[in-house]
Structure 1
């Protein structure tokens, strides 16, 4: 107490310094360690990590995405084989149920998986998926009959939809969250490269399946896919580990609802609107991938094996191009879009880039897919939609990080922008689980009911445009890079400077909203000429242990 009194006396009359906190040394150290360490890391950390472990982890996270959404993207090839062979008498709605079950489970378990990752249980999560995904695919090869005998829909759904889907759920959030701990200054690009695993798998798996089916039959083809998935999963299990400097806050009790659901997120309008945007996104996104091959077949724009289609072809299917090539082209173009738009997202803001690509994707469905009457037009749609849709489906984690960076700007709470990323991202995806399940089912029912794929096209386009509108509302509630809000800029643009100033004054201070102990909103503190001996000692001794990864603010 005597030392603190002398420090306070030495600080009196110095306008360039902040008043010393009266909190206990332990509380002060915990706040100061976060703000000081984050500032030092931002100043001295290189743009790209210098450790080989970061890039080995990056590849491992790529494989995690490769075996999660990558298998979902490749399901269209499975569906095309089923409808023409072993499940040729099954309704299109039921066929879509297998793929939508996978996406439903991946999203449903995103919140608990994200929380487990935040708590440091990444090894158990990845190990579970490493077992379930290859095991489920191998059991599919066992349950599926050989030759042209009809298959049991229930067994295929249980193995490919349920077991594989549960394994994929362990990989999805893990891929982006683990990679983000290593790449603080290039988060959007790093997550974008990881997201390319889904689109590249959408090229590799369909080609592999079709080739092996012709050479070895469907059952052996699935065993080959299971082998590739097993090898890449084992690599990810060994190398996909978070940065050791990343802090994993331990939960008090996993039985409490507050452990799994962050009430601050539910009270955040930007989070709620963006979650609604992602829900509409999954309502209409995967019906495009699940029904693309069958649309091309019944429209006479491509050929595929099998004898029946759920809709009578409008023209003889004598086109020389195989339908699964269209799915490969779309996924290949998606890789370019994920990389390019993720790169620019680091400069324009991930959410801003997300809004633009979402609007363009919906317009491509409205204008290009519905009017495609030739193979060339169909390929053009696959290329352009693939590019922009790759950004649409790959940017939600980066956009959520963007929202967190603009929410926790006070030095005392800035570390939450990263420590809550897994939980908020998981909550967002879990809320989209039901739309991801019913979206393809509704699209399949529309095809069966009206015998035309224009219903799927309009359904997907409308869902994506509604998602874009929700993203625009999200952007309305977030500040710009200068710290002001869009309403203020609009008032000033129309010459209403008085109303702009009043709008900013009515907004509560971020320090008041986000912190119980308000601190300076400056990113760095003014150096004191007489620093506390106690605080100087704490900074030196505890900074390495309290290293927290606070991502850049990019809106």
Structure 2
């Protein structure tokens, strides 16, 4: 029992950390991380407004697939480089990473205003893809993982709420940027509107560069060599079945999530639920049942509702469990897309879908880092291994998003091809809804493999609820206890369920007189008592 006493002393030797830090640097960093998310996924969320302008003006004859490719290139690059960026952040190179993004994102937006023609001229698609899709996407990849990982170091006991507040930067930017672009386009033209957006990006990015720094007490293990594969890929993560299933869930999430954002405005315009400036797309309009509104308001409403959802669910996910909250939000979001969006027949229905889907989608897209933190907390939960889990957060989150990069690229492209091929947005609605539903089921399987807080697995609890006690062999009991010790850190429960492996001095005294092993003249054991 020496291990138990050692564990107890370790837990008692460290004072409990406060729920909220008392340093102003923590909250300045929090705001800086908010702006990092504001200028990464926030610009991706706002791309639907840019696409709506392009299809009605400068790229009016461009295929919907190509228009979606610009936004999907941004999300692809953000996710592709999440793994390397996360590892660099773990090693303490946060300043270089943020500085790179601070240069690339404003530079790409300023170059877009130069590459785009003035007034009503026809733009070259390649120029827009390179500036807005490629250059800006590269810069946003430096911001995305940095936002959640750096903020989490200051709020260890409120990690879910801290990451959720940072994630609100994406949804608030999804309100600010579309509204800003639409009003400024009418007032000063598209190119000057883009320069104004670039100016706002520059100011907020510089604030992040100055104040977004991790907690000085946070450990930054530096690799011995950056050339080794294990420096960038933690193979232990792929032996964790909960992590693997959750990574698959995030891959299906990105297959179906951003087709909603990229095609919402065009769907509203084609269906007669909204209006936009410029020439009409080469599709027939349905007679509107009510007075339409400008389409960019739908995207702004969706992102505004997403802010409410991120805040509400982030506030409760620390109590209910980040992964549990994620599963519920994911399942409800898939139903909204499959049923609510596909059956919308009026402007009121369109607004109602934007509000309802926005609330749940905020948690869907904002909780993956917190869910990975939940998985790590159950995997490395003993006092001796807890620091290892904290040190691996950026790398595991980055690896998860890197795997999802290809789905993020091809999801909107497939959706755009379906619109072009069949001339109906019901194909996009079914594509998005089915992928979101598959993602929810993958999260359920991930939760199935993750122990609960008391060390028991979900299957054991369900068996007890239906009145059937789970049956295990002696070997199974030992394995289950070992899993509890390793994954959930319930050392006392694990020891009580497993057979005793520690030699006991008391037993030795009892058997020393008459239960000795019999050894032959060659020193070989010829008999023993089972009670020894």
TM-score when normalising by structure 1: 0.85
Q: Corresponding residue for 1:531?
A: none
Q: Quote the offset at 1:71 in angstroms.
A: 0.1
Does 1:312 find its partner at 2:294? no
Residues 129 and 169 in structure 1, CA contact (< 8 A), matched pair in contact too: yes
Q: What SS does the aligned partner of 1:509 have?
A: helix
Q: Corresponding residue for 1:29?
A: none
Residues 488 and 504 in structure 1, CA contact (< 8 A), matched pair in contact too: no
Residues 179 and 191 in structure 1, CA contact (< 8 A), matched pair in contact too: yes
Residues 93 and 443 in structure 1, CA contact (< 8 A), matched pair in contact too: yes
Structure 2 unmatched runs, 5+: 494-532
Deviation by residue 1:250-278 (Cα, 9 ceiling, x = unmatched): 10111011000001001110010000000
Structure 1 unmatched runs, 5+: 1-14, 22-31, 524-555
Deviation by residue 1:435-492 (Cα, 9 ceiling, x = unmatched): 0000000000000000000000000000000000000000000111111101111121
2:397 pairs, out of 394, 418, 425, with: 425
CA–CA distance in structure 1, aligned partners of residues 12 and 413 of structure 2: 49
Q: Corresponding residue for 2:443?
A: 471
CA–CA distance in structure 2, aligned partners of residues 88 and 514 of structure 1: 55
Q: Quote the offset at 1:495 in angstroms.
A: 1.9
What is the CA RMSD across the aligned residues, in angstroms? 2.1
Q: Quote the offset at 1:493 in angstroms.
A: 1.4
Residues 140 and 156 in structure 1, CA contact (< 8 A), matched pair in contact too: yes
Does 1:261 find its partner at 2:211? no
Residues 485 and 491 in structure 2, CA contact (< 8 A), matched pair in contact too: no
Judged with a 3 Å threshold, the aligned counterparts in structure 2 of structure 1 residues 520 and 210 are, in CA distance, closer, same or farther, namely closer
2:37 pairs, out of 60, 65, 74, with: 65
Higher alpha-carbon deviation: 414-423 or 288-297: 414-423
Residues 288 and 346 in structure 2, CA contact (< 8 A), matched pair in contact too: no
Q: Corresponding residue for 2:170?
A: 198
1:237 pairs, out of 209, 212, 229, with: 209
1:54 pairs, out of 20, 23, 26, with: 26
Q: Corresponding residue for 2:377?
A: 405
Does 1:455 find its partner at 2:393? no
Judged with a 3 Å threshold, the aligned counterparts in structure 2 of structure 1 residues 38 and 246 are, in CA distance, closer, same or farther, namely farther
Judged with a 3 Å threshold, the aligned counterparts in structure 2 of structure 1 residues 500 and 339 are, in CA distance, closer, same or farther, namely farther
Q: Corresponding residue for 1:24?
A: none
Q: Corresponding residue for 1:372?
A: 344
CA–CA distance in structure 2, aligned partners of residues 98 and 283 of structure 1: 16
Does 1:120 find its partner at 2:92? yes
CA–CA distance in structure 2, aligned partners of residues 115 and 310 of structure 1: 46
Judged with a 3 Å threshold, the aligned counterparts in structure 2 of structure 1 residues 144 and 37 are, in CA distance, closer, same or farther, namely farther
Judged with a 3 Å threshold, the aligned counterparts in structure 2 of structure 1 residues 131 and 255 are, in CA distance, closer, same or farther, namely same
Q: Quote the offset at 1:511 in angstroms.
A: 7.8
Q: What SS does the aligned partner of 1:275 have?
A: helix
Q: Corresponding residue for 2:491?
A: 521
1:90 pairs, out of 62, 71, 91, with: 62
Q: Quote the offset at 1:59 in angstroms.
A: 0.1
Q: Quote the offset at 1:243 in angstroms.
A: 0.2
Q: Corresponding residue for 1:540?
A: none
Deviation by residue 1:15-49 (Cα, 9 ceiling, x = unmatched): 6x54999xxxxxxxxxx9xx9777655x4321111
Q: What SS does the aligned partner of 2:248 have?
A: helix
Correspondence list, 1:534-553, <5 A: none
CA–CA distance in structure 1, aligned partners of residues 58 and 289 of structure 2: 21
Higher alpha-carbon deviation: 244-253 or 309-318: 309-318
2:461 pairs, out of 489, 493, 497, with: 489
1:441 pairs, out of 413, 418, 427, with: 413
1:131 pairs, out of 100, 103, 108, with: 103
Q: Corresponding residue for 2:160?
A: 188
- Matched pairs, number: 492
1:326 pairs, out of 287, 298, 314, with: 298
Residues 455 and 490 in structure 2, CA contact (< 8 A), matched pair in contact too: no
CA–CA distance in structure 1, aligned partners of residues 473 and 262 of structure 2: 51
Q: Quote the offset at 1:396 in angstroms.
A: 0.2
CA–CA distance in structure 1, aligned partners of residues 289 and 47 of structure 2: 22
